[in-house]
């Protein structure tokens, strides 16, 4: 790229003249061409050939400088385009609307136009950074903090969209994680729900409404969507810092620890044996956890409308220990125990107990690899933080 403002055209002209001169000199040198004999003799006498070679080297260096200048100009052009797009009224309005929804505790619909525009914007620029078209230093500022806040606020919506499109917002997530590392932002903060305004316009039940539901016991900062369905709440115990999203179904004997997120469209059927989720457990969208089920062998009739004498009900307590994460669309059957730190990949089928700090995936699920245990250190850091003290 030639740009008169930074004089790169000057280097290009010098390089061109030097190349022409060198080529001409080597073609004429040694030939019996009368017209150029005086010039050649003069060059030989004063070693101008060596000078020309030096100039040729310098011209090569100048060409490199031209390339570097061009890259810098391209980067600055990309930076300018990023900020121009970011200041576009459509995108600024979308971000403003999302921030307002986050503050009011409004659950983001998967088809929300503001969310879709924002995800598309940062997905594209995340790709540009990864491909080196946009320098990352742009995000070592307020832009990076905006990426973190927006991604964490839209995480649930993104998970739902990924059910149909697993690569949705892939580069938005990539730039989010890169910003977390660069800005010293612990992703453990994603476990700490933002304080919501629980009022009549909130998508979560207010404190008085939670009492009216009739839970056996519940703690502080419990966010239960108005669109969730709760059956037999008198058998349920909920700890602190819990979020239960839209269209979840909870039924029967259920005990939840603290720092738990149950994503949209998930069902927990506790029956009499019960489901236990310990601390720092994440259950993604569209999962099903059963502590009770029918026998589908064909030897008995199925479903709750059949008299007990003609059914065979299988029951078994389900336990998800600390730090367990269950991927989107997974199914867990009665009697299963997911030991500490287990991670289950999306669309998995779990019918046996899984060993601690391992990653499993598939239907039926199988061991893939061991899981990093850094979550323990993050938990300790969180429990020593001001945010933890405020949430108690």
**Arithmetic mean of pLDDT over the chain:** 81
Q: How far apart are CA 43 and CA 21, in angstroms?
A: 12
The pTM assigned to this predicted structure is: 0.51
When mean pLDDT is compared across 2-11, 68-77, 187-196, 298-307, the lowest value belongs to 187-196
In order, the DSSP letters of 37-77 are HHHHHHHHHTTHHHHHHHHHHHHHHHHHHHHHHHHHHHHHH
Closest CA to 69 of 18, 19, 12: 12
Q: How far apart are CA 136 and CA 155, in angstroms?
A: 22
In order, the DSSP letters of 307-348 are -GGGB-EEE--EEE-TT-EE-TT-EE-TT-EE-TT-EE-TT-
Residue with tokens 């905006």: 146
Find out whether 279 and 298 touch, Cβ atoms under 8 Å: no
Q: What is the pLDDT of residues 126-159, one digit of tens each?
A: 888 888 888 888 888 778 888 898 998 898 889 8
Q: What is the pLDDT of residues 111-131, one digit of tens each?
A: 888 999 999 999 998 888 888
Find out whether 226 and 206 touch, Cβ atoms under 8 Å: no
Instruction: Please enumerate, as own/partner, the contacts of 53-58 that have beta carbons within 8 Å and a separation of 24 or more.
Output: 53/22, 55/18, 56/18, 56/19, 56/22, 58/18
Q: How far apart are CA 268 and CA 280, in angstroms?
A: 17
């Amino acid at each position: 790229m030639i740009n008169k403002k930074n004089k790169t055209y000057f280097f290009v002209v010098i390089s061109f003249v030097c190349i022409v001169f060198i080529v001409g000199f080597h073609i004429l040198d040694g030939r019996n061409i009368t017209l150029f004999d005086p010039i050649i003799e003069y060059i030989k006498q004063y070693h101008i050939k060596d000078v020309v070679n030096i100039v040729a080297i310098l011209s090569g260096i100048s060409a490199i400088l031209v390339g570097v200048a061009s890259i810098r100009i391209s980067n600055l052009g990309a930076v300018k385009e990023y900020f121009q797009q970011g200041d576009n009224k459509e995108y600024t309005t979308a971000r403003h609307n999302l921030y307002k929804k986050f503050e009011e505790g409004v659950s983001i619909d998967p088809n929300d136009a503001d969310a879709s525009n924002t995800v598309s914007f940062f997905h594209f620029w995340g790709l540009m950074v990864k491909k080196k078209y946009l320098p990352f230093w742009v995000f070592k500022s307020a832009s990076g903090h905006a990426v973190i806040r927006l991604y964490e606020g839209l995480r649930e919506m993104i998970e739902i969209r990924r059910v149909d499109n697993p690569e949705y917002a892939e580069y938005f997530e990539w730039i989010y994680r890169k910003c977390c590392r660069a800005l010293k932002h612990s992703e453990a903060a994603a476990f700490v729900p933002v304080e919501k305004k629980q009022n009549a316009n909130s998508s979560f039940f207010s404190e008085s409404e939670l009492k009216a539901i009739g839970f056996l016991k519940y703690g502080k900062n419990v966010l239960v969507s108005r669109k969730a369905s709760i059956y037999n709440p008198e058998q349920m115990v909920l700890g602190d810092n819990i979020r239960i999203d839209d269209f979840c179904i909870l039924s029967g004997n259920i005990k939840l620890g603290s720092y738990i997120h149950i994503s949209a469209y998930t069902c927990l059927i506790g029956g009499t044996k019960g489901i236990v989720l310990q601390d720092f457990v994440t259950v993604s969208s569209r999962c099903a956890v059963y502590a009770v089920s029918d026998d589908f062998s064909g030897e008995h009739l199925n479903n709750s409308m059949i008299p007990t004498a003609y059914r065979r009900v299988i029951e078994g307590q389900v336990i998800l220990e600390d730090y367990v994460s269950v991927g989107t669309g997974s199914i867990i059957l009665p009697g299963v125990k997911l030991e500490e730190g287990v991670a289950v990949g999306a669309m998995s089928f779990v019918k046996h107990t899984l060993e601690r700090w391992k990653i499993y995936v598939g239907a039926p699920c199988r061991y893939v690899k061991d899981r990093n245990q850094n979550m323990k250190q993050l938990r300790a850091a969180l429990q020593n933080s001001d945010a933890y003290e405020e949430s108690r």
